Chains A and B, each alone.
Chain A
Amino acid sequence: MLLRHTNKEIKPRESLTVNPAKTCQPIGAMYASLGIHNCLPHSHGSQGCCAYHRSALTRHFREPVMAATSSFTEGSSVFGGQSNLIQAIDTIFTTYEPDVIAVHTTCLSETIGDDVNQIAIKAVKDGKVPKGKYVIHTSTPSYVGSHVTGFSNMTKAMATAFSKSTGVSNGKFNIIPGYVEPSDMTEIKRVVKEMGIKPILFPDTSNVLNGPQTGKYKMYPDGGVTIEELTSAGDSIGTIALGNTASADAARALDTRCKVPCQVLDLPIGLAATDRFINTLRTVAGVNVPASIDLERGQLLDIITDMQAYLYHKKVALAGDPDQLIPLVEFLISIDMMPVHIVTGTPGKDFVKRIEALTADLPYKVNVKAGGGADMYLLHQWIKNEPVDLLISNTYGKYIARDEDIPFMRYGFPIVDRVGHSYFPSVCYKGGMRLLEKILDLLLDRIDRDSLEETFELVM
């Protein structure tokens, strides 16, 4: 009973986060960088952060995660990290031979005020960046935002560092998939292609962080968006950004820079959000929805109708990232479940507004909080005050689930005690089917577990 310490009585906490529902910016930037082909992420700061970020990503994906660090010392923290970074760039290009180094800052280099842009320019001037190779960078102070902010910042850096507009259309659409699993990126690509549209997807971690067993060690796996594609993104017909928090900034930057018109949609999670995604693809590209996609939608709907009796008014508590939670809450409501407690550690007023709008017509009041004080501890307190039938969160939710004996669906980042998330999608109609299967398995298992001998049933 690890969480016996959780107190039911909710007092305002101002100075304290207990059991966080977020982590810091650099890890998001590191994850995004891994979605560029032949790219080595670089952490500009001291060794520890980089080690933690790599370990955390390694635990989640069960894949080797490479990243270099500026290895700050006390000296660098006084005199600045310029010489470290220039030496690092030199070392990396001569030893690890990436096409791109993607530099992100940490709280340390941010606080001492290193100007990474100027350092990168100096590195080029000093001849440390070989021809045809690139250094891109972004600022990711960890005392602002969360891991999602870091992801967003690096994605934006990708768009602005490479894209060019030549005036000749490439006939493609840019798709910015957001902070989702590699499996989701694969699925989004598949659906877009199924619609007859040629995508440039970035970042794209599919096959990078869910790669095959080969018996060989490859520092740069085969996946990832290429530099040619990123450059060409400036000539695309349009951009569709999925998720306001993780993807909108990159899409808007591309619009400003290369006049590629953009639309920001929710992540296609569940029925309605996927409908909107498909419909947008249809209208912007002027294509018809193929029968194959209609079929998938129909199948998802079929599962819902077949099993609606078991979904009816089941209460759900959720913790996760804003872009995922919004369509997920919408999906749960649409299948007659009741999201009652929702937290995200990522700060943002828009999130709370969106959730309030989505839940405005419900006959009960939803608890929702974002940013400071929105942690797993608060979620647990809420659950103690109003119990739920299902908890959806990253792995850390397992303490609450065990303490309160609640069916628990792992979803989000990080998941360190189960596999599947990086191989099977949870986006689009197919992903919706998988989410539903998981939810129903949990609810039905619980009925099986709790039923009396005489009510224990074969057919459900």
Chain B
Amino acid sequence: METISVLEDRKNQISQKGRDTFEMACEKKSLAGAVSQRACVFCGSRVVLYPIADALHLIHGPIGCASYTWDIRGALSSGPELHRMSFSTDLSETDVVFGGEKKLEKALLELVAEYEPKAAFVYCTCIVGIIGDDVEAVCKKVAAKVGIPVLAVHSEGFKGTKKDGYKAACDALFKLIDLNRKPEKQIPLSINILGEFNIGGETWIIKEYYRRMGVEVVSVMTGDGRVKDVQSAHRACLNVVQCSGSLTHLARDMEQAYGIPFIRVSYFGIEDTSDALYDVASFFKDAPQIMERTKALVQEEVCAILPELAALKKDLVGKRAAIYVGGAFKAFSLIKALKHLGMSEVLVGSQTGNKEDYALLREMCDPDTVILDDANPLELAKYVMEKDAHLFIGGVKERPIAYKLGIGFCDHNHERKIPLVGYEGMVNFAKEVHATVTSPIWDLVPRKAFNRAISNKG
């Protein structure tokens, strides 16, 4: 195998557990000229707000930003599907010169008249930041005219990373909630689920658990989302935040403004799902019946899936996985879930991890595991080959790399078709991993066929 070198400037964004002791560099800007797998601010805010299905999502900018985000998220809705349409002001050269405010206003009015959305989000892309449109003012004016909340989402791509986009989305959500702030009564035994986007119907699974526990879900932000529910969010007793970074910011804001405490959870894998449910149950100390129901639920669900997991595990014991995901929180859960299947991880990377994340990762990982921040495809390929992984867990851009190298792949990003959360999600995950890792296709890969030919001779 030809060796692949690593960028000099990136050396301290890569660490190998047990070998290196330096502190990981992270939360850095990608180096100019690097082939980074990262996206922009707009991307971050778009993915968070996207699943609100009865809102209008208008992208203010040239056509590309709208084209590329048209129905790529796979966030399911049980009702309206306005979020899946692609609306753009399609700025042209003259707009760039003379400003796009008039066009934006017109577009908003046309759209609101036609679709009668419950709220509108206007995403500002790079160019809007540069030409200096006063989007706030336009939104205000239109809101006053049409009587629905019209919110500017400040997501100019160059103003940071995807993470900053999460913050912009949180700001918009908070505004949406705050606009409706009335002295309304708290709903007893209720929560908001934050950072859950209903990819493949995951929100529905989680909501069902809470229903069985006797906990009311006031709003999910933003999976299968509705404006009305989001606007009642301040009446919940607790915010339950999933996903490492995306909505923690909103949870903090809501804590400050409404005194709603929050906890961080993950619904991926058996331990994390159970922990999540127990944490919520123990929050409602005054209602011990919730804890009882939760115990019963966990027991029932775990017992139901163990035999199937055990059967799948037989073929997976000792297989090695490489993980490259957006948020580091996802990586923690994945490592635990892989352990259940008897698998180990040889590479773990994230696009947006911070110092604590990487410290925790290092604690969790097996010795010699490579830990990467903001990796590029060359590095990913290099370590996958060196460590002889059987499985790659990643997103769109990693899929063909895994396949080219001749190893299995599992999507843990937004192109996923099946739900991976909760207990049934764990089975789905195990099945998916099993299907890809044990596929006979990999024996046909030239590299391996060649090795086999040699070993046959010997």
Contact = CB atoms under 8 A, between A and B. Distances in A.
A65 B397 CA distance: 8
A217 B407 CA distance: 12
A142 B32 contact: no
Contacts of A71: 29-34, 36
A72 B161 CA distance: 10
A313 interface: no
A263 interface: no
B118 to A, nearest CB: 14
A217 B115 CA distance: 48
A283 interface: no
Interface stretch (B17-25, B103-111, B430-438): B103-111
Interface stretch (A49-57, A151-159, A349-357): A49-57
Interface stretch (A107-115, A193-201, A273-281): A107-115
A53 B396 CA distance: 12
Contacts of B91: 143
B123 to A, nearest CB: 12
Interface residues of A, number: 79
A92 interface: yes
B29 A73 contact: yes
A131 to B, nearest CB: 19
B64 A27 contact: yes
Interface in B26-45: 29-43
Interface string A206-218: 0000000111110
Contacts of B42: 48
Contacts of B157: 46-49, 108
A1 B35 CA distance: 39
A163 interface: no
A69 interface: yes
Interface residues of B, number: 79
A244 interface: no
Given A48-B39, A77-B158, A108-B126, A58 B378 contact: no
B34 A91 contact: yes
Interface in B413-458: 445-448
B400 A64 contact: yes
A47 B39 contact: yes
A348 interface: no
A206 to B, nearest CB: 17
Nearest to A347: B92
Interface in A91-109: 91-92, 95-96, 106-108
B92 A46 contact: no
B450 to A, nearest CB: 8
Contacts of A13: 110
Contacts of B81: 1-2, 5
Contacts of B36: 47, 50-51, 69, 71
A351 B230 CA distance: 47
Contact of A18 (B40, B85, B406): B85
B93 A217 contact: no
Contacts of A65: 397
Interface stretch (A80-88, A228-236, A320-328): A80-88
Interface of A: 1-2, 5, 7, 13-20, 22-27, 40, 42, 45-56, 58-59, 61-74, 76-77, 84-85, 87-92, 95-96, 106-108, 111-112, 141-144, 146, 213-217, 219, 345, 372, 396
Interface of B: 1, 5, 7, 9, 29-43, 61-70, 81-82, 84-93, 95-96, 102-104, 106-107, 110-111, 114-115, 126-127, 129-131, 157-161, 377-378, 381, 385, 396-397, 399-401, 403-406, 445-448
Given A71-B33, A111-B131, 7 more contacts: A16-B87, A17-B66, A50-B36, A51-B38, A52-B43, A108-B157, A216-B405
10 contacts: A5-B85, A17-B88, A18-B86, A20-B86, A74-B159, A92-B33, A95-B7, A108-B157, A111-B127, A215-B447
